[in-house]
Structure 1
Amino acid sequence: MQNCDVFLRPCTGADLAVLEAWAPTGNSRTHAMRFSHQEAGTSTYYLAACRQEPGAIVGTCELRWDGCAASEVPRCPEANGLQVWPPVLQSHGIGTQMLGLLEHGARERGHHTLGLGVGDPRPKRLYLRLGYVDTGQDYLDRYTWIDEHHEEHHVADRARWMMKPLTGGRLEAGRL
């Protein structure tokens, strides 16, 4: 699938079993949690597929309309949990296409910026190339996962907040 023309569609309840088979989240039930946010109206949980093979999921991302859960970052919609799966599909432009479509969707809803958190230098370089600005704001990305014994594990990973102007303006670190 080296030539993948990506399209996004919102997740449906019928997709949850397929998503768990595609990218298992075990007892954490991450796909179901993201779908519940969509059902509550606070986000859209998007599935990515290639027009060449529309039944095959190649990625997911939750677009949180109410922004990042961390209160210390500037308020704007957040692209959260963007993933391309399986790993053999990564670094072929699928994530870049997904971000472009997410940006378009946010712009259509009247938003002027899109934010995302990043903890790994490799995707950060990509986001910078795509016009995201490093705001200089570090925060703790907090989440919980549940192991096979149903024990909760609370995680707080350091992340850097990045934002992109969607309406042709410019953002500069320190002036957000």
Structure 2
Amino acid sequence: MLAVLFAAAALYLFTRKGCTDSTETSQYNVTLQQLRGVNKLVIWEQDFTLNDLQTKERTYMKWFTTKESVITTVSGRMGFHIDLSDSIHTCITRTAESVLVQAPLQITYVSLDMASLKQVKDASVNPAVNIDEKEIIKHLDQKALEQYLPAIKATLSTKALTDQEYQLQKLTGLPVRIEITGMPTPSQYQK
């Protein structure tokens, strides 16, 4: 009789331990699925005003120079995110008491307010020296990234991401820490 009670107690404890393990695994998978479901987590947005000067000149016989310039001013906005659904570049590690998200920063958008676009052209007397204003407009987003991205990188390397971590903590129920593992370059931006 004692052996039967001992066997029943052992079976009960063994079964109960198995349920606990599967519950933790299930909870871990739910947490990862919740985080992966957040496609793009906004890290930084910024307004900017871009001033660009393009010049072209031509010298004849080392003493006569013709020059043309176009000054362009435009306002805009740019945004950056981390992609939690990217399983290749984003690593999400869960411990018993917290979640660590390691992801590279990516460019979300560069938006130009074309209503604020102003161009002033200082024309040359030589018709061979010509700057195409429309061609300048096509590359303004790249120029904005080249001008403002270094300052944004410097700011984000020292800035705490407490607002974003708090949003993910509300989702998972655990403290979340975000580490930015890489910074974008202007050449990575696709329109």
Query: The TM-score by the shorter chain falls in which range?
Result: under 0.3
Higher radius of gyration, 1 or 2 = 2
TM-score by structure 2 length?
Answer: 0.24
* Larger fraction in helix: 2
Normalising by the residue count of structure 1, what TM-score does the alignment of the two structures yield? 0.25
